[in-house]
Amino acid sequence: MPETEEKIIPAESQPLQLFAAWLADAEKSEPNDPNAMALATTTVAGAPSVRMVLLKGFDDAGFVFYTNAESRKGQELAANPQAALLFHWKSLRRQIRVEGAVTPVSEAESDQYFTSRARLSRLGAWASAQSRVMASRPEFLLKIAAVTAKYVGRDVPRPEYWSGWRVRPDAIEFWQDMPFRLHDRVRYQRSGESWTHDRLYP
């Protein structure tokens, strides 16, 4: 079966440049949240834990997301600062896996992003004891109402426990769907400040 050259992953590309190109394609085709990614962490006991979050920035230093540091994922990252990410773009039949160490972003970065959020999202960060048990949904809504009243006519500051994390990739794997499940896979691995790559069997 012949393969169309345009579908073959160009292994000679730099992985972050290729990621940027694939994300741009996803922004044109995905109906919702093309920057959504699965974030996998581990519990203290080593059990896997995964959830969807949103990518809020990336560059040569890594992939950035934000959350409540007191949430389950925040506590797991504090105990074991390693993570895996998965981007899956169904409309393009593509996925990208990222693995690496995690470090907090600077307070200035966290402040800048928090300020850019919608006001209700900022109020929600104060009202939500993320990942902890609540008695009922009305309890949460009452907390939002209380926080809203507290900050009437005032800017909503960033809570100290709300911050960002950066995943510095040690490995990035690109996967492209091909007919008859003869998929194309290229894995990049960090080597100092450069990258090596291999093409993998599907």
Closest of 168, 160, 169, 174 to residue 202, by C-alpha: 174
Write phi, then psi, for 82 (nearest 5 degrees). -130, 145
Closest of 155, 159, 127, 162 to residue 141, by C-alpha: 127
Closest of 105, 109, 94 to residue 24, by C-alpha: 94
Find residue 174's DSSP bridge partners.
Answer: 96, 186
Query: Which 3 state secondary structure label does DSSP give 21?
Result: helix
Copy the structure tokens of residue 100.
Answer: 């690496």
**C-alpha–C-alpha distance, residues 189 and 201, integer Å:** 16
Q: Which of 97, 158, 166, 181 is catalytic?
A: 181
187 is catalytic: no
How do strand 184-191 and strand 162-176 relate by DSSP bridges? Answer: antiparallel
Residues designated catalytic: 181
